[in-house]
């Protein structure tokens, strides 16, 4: 994936329309760095928010949003000097390999006061025709799912991050939530946890299906107790988490729950009623068309199957009619011929003339005998009216109904194609059970904001009690299921689920160890590469549960984190993010806001020389004049790493920012 262009129109401090070239190339040669210079409050963070907003819309984790609703945030982003007739717009053009070839996409989000609701359009590039950009409705309708395949929102902070995130990561003993979530996403742990929940739902459904009325009542009672304890455990877990995290972090959980709701199909499931309505309309149309076809089939259309036989019957009827007419004419003409011969004999013609007349009459009689045909009696006995009706049936009625039948068949094909399309959209929606679980998670996350802090030790004891009670109740449930499901020959389902859960647990453990080992190697390599003290660190290790970092020297002894300087901690945090990005295996752009805070000159040089040119094929840097100074800028120029440099000039009187080419010292 590679960003090509960013267009801002009346967005934040950027008045009017401003177009920024982001192609990581200069004079046809690849150069990874696109450098933005600006003073504090000049619009650097707004640029980062614009990229996030274009990609994720309401799910975007924008730094200036805070607790605002999405519509309030969009309203806040409208430039104060925007004319009422103009939109506020963010456009991001990017390039991505699709079907083994490069494809270009343009994301367009725009909105206008007073109706603050953004509209989304995804355009694809094609060199066919006079206009190269074409709207793609299919991708637009499923954009939230499509972008998850390119740059999932869960790992976006590994590629789009700022100095505050690096500072937080450097100071905490355990990684913050956005890093933990990214690690789980990269390790595939979220999928395994979701599968475990689905298996438990399936097991409960099977128990209810196979249990008798008496058994079902007892089973539901046990399950009700199980659910009550589970809910209590969840509440206790949330309470315990609220003690470990500040109120702001619970608000982040609310956002994460909403992201999960959308990314896993909740948005499409919410529109299910509209899709169902359209699907029912198409099905009604299909039923009406099929009814019309049945009416055709009840008329003369089936006779088209025996058209050859009907044609033969028509020919036979016409032949019999012709033969019958010939026989009638033969008798009349024979009597007239006999009278004519007797008359000729009376008028005394010469013999030669008489012979010629007799030969002519015999020839005429022979032709009539041939037309009369065989002496066999006719078997159809069709009159002229029947023959005419058969002619009309073959020439007009059957052909007309065949044309009508073909039209209705084509119509039913088109309707069935629409039905298949709506079925595929419904298939992308979350299942009712998963949808309810997603909604439940969103509600709990919203309520978690208001949960008051309680004594941590008391919460831990309460959680332990609930876990023991839950384990006891679960054993009763498994015993009950084993006893009654065996009687009904359905134990195979439950046993298979239990085996799958055990296998899934083992798989999760082994996958975690395997992926963490690879991640540790990448982080160690990145940290050693960035440090100028090559003898300080031999290995960086990750805790399998908390994902906290441990550092070991060449002798295998742990290095306390407090022994690291502030700059070294920040380099470790950057190495952590860099290692995660490398393990993801995704070729994605990296954007960094305020990248060099709290670093001394040595560490600055290491980042400038080693990290920025190598972090990705495209690196967007947003810096003040005290971070990437003249010496760092000249070093990047010397390395031929800068493709474009821009200066964000802020007019304090107009409260507006313009984007100009160049940098502070150009």
Give the angle 317-320-324 at the CA atoms, nearest 5°: 140
- Across the range 130-149, mean pLDDT stands at 87
Residue 202: band (very low, low, confident or very high) from pLDDT cuts 50, 70, 90: confident
User: Are the beta carbons of 61 and 52 closer than 8 angstroms?
Assistant: yes
DSSP-derived secondary structure for 92-103? EEEEEEETTEEE
User: Mean pLDDT: which of 13-22, 191-200, 297-306, 318-327 is highest?
Assistant: 13-22
Nearest alpha carbon to residue 271 among 443, 71, 428: 428
User: Mean pLDDT: which of 305-319, 541-555, 644-658 is highest?
Assistant: 644-658
What does each C-alpha distance from 171 to 55, 158, 181, 538, 562 come to in angstroms? 30, 17, 18, 21, 10
Higher-confidence position of 232 and 322: 232
Nearest alpha carbon to residue 68 among 111, 116, 14, 11: 116
DSSP-derived secondary structure for 309-326? HHHHHHHHHHHHHHHHHH
| Whole-number pLDDT of residue 91 | 96
User: Mean pLDDT: which of 86-90, 464-468, 512-516, 648-652 is highest?
Assistant: 86-90
pLDDT over 50 (residue 452):
no
pLDDT over 60 (residue 215):
no
pLDDT over 80 (residue 72):
yes
Sheet strand arrangement including 119-125? 14-21, 2-11, 88-98, 101-111, 119-125, 133-135
Higher-confidence position of 257 and 124: 124
Residues 449 and 247: their CA atoms lie apart, in Å, by: 7
Residue 77: band (very low, low, confident or very high) from pLDDT cuts 50, 70, 90: very high
Q: What is the tens place of the pLDDT at every residue in 565-587?
A: 777 788 888 888 888 888 877 78
**Bridge-based pairing state of the strands 549-552 and 558-559:** antiparallel
* Count of beta carbons in the 10 Å neighbourhood of residue 581: 22
Q: What is the tens place of the pLDDT at every residue in 572-628?
A: 888 888 888 888 777 889 998 877 766 667 777 888 888 888 888 999 999 888 888
Q: What is the tens place of the pLDDT at every residue in 83-131?
A: 888 999 999 999 998 888 889 999 999 999 887 889 999 999 877 655 6
Residues 492 and 210: their CA atoms lie apart, in Å, by: 12
pLDDT over 70 (residue 210):
no
pTM over 0.85: no
Residues 219 and 205: their CA atoms lie apart, in Å, by: 11
State the burial class of residue 268 (Cβ atoms within 10 Å of its Cβ: 0-12, 13-18, 19+): buried
Nearest alpha carbon to residue 559 among 567, 525, 568, 177: 568
Residues 242 and 249: their CA atoms lie apart, in Å, by: 9
User: Are the beta carbons of 475 and 283 closer than 8 angstroms?
Assistant: no
């Amino acid at each position: 994936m590679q960003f090509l262009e960013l267009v801002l129109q009346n967005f934040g401090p950027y008045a009017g329309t401003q177009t920024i070239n982001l192609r990581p190339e200069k004079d046809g040669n690849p150069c990874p760095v696109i450098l933005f210079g600006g003073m504090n409050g000049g619009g650097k963070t707004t640029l980062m928010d614009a990229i996030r907003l274009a990609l994720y819309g309401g799910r975007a984790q924008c730094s200036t949003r805070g607790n605002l609703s999405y519509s309030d945030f969009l309203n806040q982003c409208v430039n104060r000097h925007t004319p009422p007739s103009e939109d506020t717009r963010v456009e991001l053009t990017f390039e991505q390999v699709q079907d083994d070839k490069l494809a270009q996409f343009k994301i367009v989000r725009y909105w206008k006061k007073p109706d603050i609701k953004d509209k989304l359009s995804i355009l694809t590039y094609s060199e066919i025709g006079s206009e190269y950009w074409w709207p793609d409705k299919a991708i637009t309708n499923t954009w939230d799912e499509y972008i998850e395949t390119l740059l999932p929102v869960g790992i976006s902070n590994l590629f789009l991050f700022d100095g505050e995130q690096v500072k937080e990561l450097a100071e905490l003993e355990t990684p913050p939530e956005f890093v933990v979530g990214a690690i789980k996403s990269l390790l595939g742990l979220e999928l395994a946890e979701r599968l475990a929940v689905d298996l438990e739902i399936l097991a409960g459904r099977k128990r209810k299906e196979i249990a008798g009325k008496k058994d079902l009542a007892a089973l539901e009672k046990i399950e009700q107790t199980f659910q009550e304890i589970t809910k209590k455990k969840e509440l206790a877990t949330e309470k315990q988490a609220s003690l470990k995290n500040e109120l702001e972090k619970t608000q982040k959980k609310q956002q994460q729950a909403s992201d999960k709701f959308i990314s896993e199909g909740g948005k499409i499931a919410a529109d299910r009623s509209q899709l169902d309505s359209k699907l029912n309309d198409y099905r009604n149309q299909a039923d009406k068309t099929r009814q019309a076809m049945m009416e055709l089939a009840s008329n003369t259309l089936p006779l088209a199957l025996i058209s050859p036989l009907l044609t033969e019957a028509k020919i036979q009827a016409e032949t019999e009619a012709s033969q019958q007419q010939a026989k009638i004419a033969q008798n009349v003409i024979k009597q007239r011929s006999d009278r004519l011969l007797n008359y000729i004999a009376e008028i005394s013609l010469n013999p030669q003339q008489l012979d010629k007349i007799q030969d002519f009459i015999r020839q005429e009689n022979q032709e009539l005998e041939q037309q009369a045909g065989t002496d066999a009696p006719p078997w159809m006995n069709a009159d002229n009216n029947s023959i005419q009706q058969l002619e009309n049936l073959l020439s007009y009625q059957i052909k007309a109904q065949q044309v009508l039948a073909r039209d209705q068949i084509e119509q039913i094909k088109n309707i069935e194609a629409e039905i298949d399309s709506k079925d595929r959209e419904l298939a992308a929606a979350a299942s009712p059970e998963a949808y309810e679980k997603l909604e439940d998670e969103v509600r709990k996350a919203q309520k978690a904001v208001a949960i008051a802090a309680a004594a941590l030790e008391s919460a831990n004891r309460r959680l332990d009690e609930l876990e023991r009670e839950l384990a006891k109740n679960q054993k009763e449930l498994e015993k009950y299921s084993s006893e009654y499901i065996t009687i009904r020959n359905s134990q195979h389902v439950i046993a298979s689920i239990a085996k799958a859960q055990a296998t899934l647990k083992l798989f999760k453990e082994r996958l975690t160890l395997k992926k963490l080992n690879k991640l540790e190697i990448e982080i160690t390599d990145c940290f050693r590469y960035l440090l100028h003290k090559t003898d300080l660190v031999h290995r960086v290790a990750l805790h399998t549960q908390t994902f906290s970092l441990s550092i070991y020297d060449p002798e295998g002894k742990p290095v306390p984190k407090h022994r690291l300087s502030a700059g070294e901690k920040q380099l470790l945090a950057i190495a952590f993010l860099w290692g995660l990005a490398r393990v993801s295996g995704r070729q994605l752009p990296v954007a960094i806001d305020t990248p060099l805070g709290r670093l001394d000159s040595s560490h600055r040089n290491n980042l400038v020389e080693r990290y920025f040119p190598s972090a990705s094929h495209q690196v967007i840097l947003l810096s003040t004049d005290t971070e990437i100074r003249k010496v760092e800028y000249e070093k990047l120029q010397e390395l031929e790493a800068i493709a474009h440099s821009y200066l964000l000039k802020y007019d304090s009187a107009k409260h507006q920012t313009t984007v100009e080419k160049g940098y502070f010292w150009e």
